[in-house]
Copies of this chain bind each other. A is one copy, B any other.
Amino acid sequence: MSNNILVKSLYREQKDFANKEIKISGWIRTLRASNAFGFIELNDGSFFKNVQIVLDANKLENFKDISKLPISSSISVIGTLVETPDAKQPFEIQANQIIVEGMSSSDYPLQKKRHTFEYLRTIAHLRPRSNAFSAVFRVRSVAAYAIHKFFQERGFVYTHTPILTGSDAEGAGEMFRVTTLDLNNIPKTEEGKIDYSEDFFGKETNLTVSGQLNGESFALAFRNIYTFGPTFRAENSNTARHAAEFWMIEPEISFADLKDDMELAEDMLKFVINYVMEECPEELEFFNQFIDKGLLERLNHVVTSDFGKVTYTDAVELLQKSDKKFEYPVEWGIDLQTEHERYLTEEIFKRPVFVTDYPKDIKAFYMRLNEDGKTVAAMDCLVPGIGEIIGGSQREERLDVLKKKMAELNLNEEDYWWYLELRKYGETPHSGFGLGFERLIMYITGMTNIRDVIPFPRTTGQSDF
Chain A positions near chain B (C-beta within 8 angstroms): 1-2, 4, 6, 8, 25-28, 44-46, 72-74, 76, 101-105, 108, 123-126, 128-129, 134, 137-138, 140-142, 144-145, 148, 152, 155-166, 174, 176-181, 183-184, 186, 194, 200-203, 205, 207, 214, 217-224, 229-230, 232, 234, 236, 244-245, 247, 254-257, 259-260, 263, 397, 418-419, 421-429, 454-456, 458, 460-465
Contact = CB atoms under 8 A, between A and B. Distances in A.
A186 B182 CA distance: 11
A74 B428 contact: yes
A224 B429 contact: no
Contacts of A44: 223
A463 B205 contact: yes
Q: How many copies does the complex hold?
A: 2
Which of A102, A181, A217 is packed against the most chain B CB atoms within 10 Å? A102
B159 A455 contact: yes
B426 A102 contact: yes
Contacts of A123: 418
Nearest to A226: B141
Given A162-B465, A463-B165, A260 B2 contact: yes
A219 B129 CA distance: 10
Given A46-B222, A104-B425, A160 B455 contact: yes
Contacts of A236: 200
Q: What 4 A-B pairs come out closest when comparing CB atoms?
A: A102-B427, A45-B223, A128-B221, A45-B222
A108 B260 CA distance: 29
Given A101-B427, A183-B186, 9 more contacts: A1-B429, A6-B155, A72-B426, A124-B217, A125-B421, A177-B179, A183-B194, A201-B462, A229-B230
A179 B217 CA distance: 29
Contacts of A161: 455-456
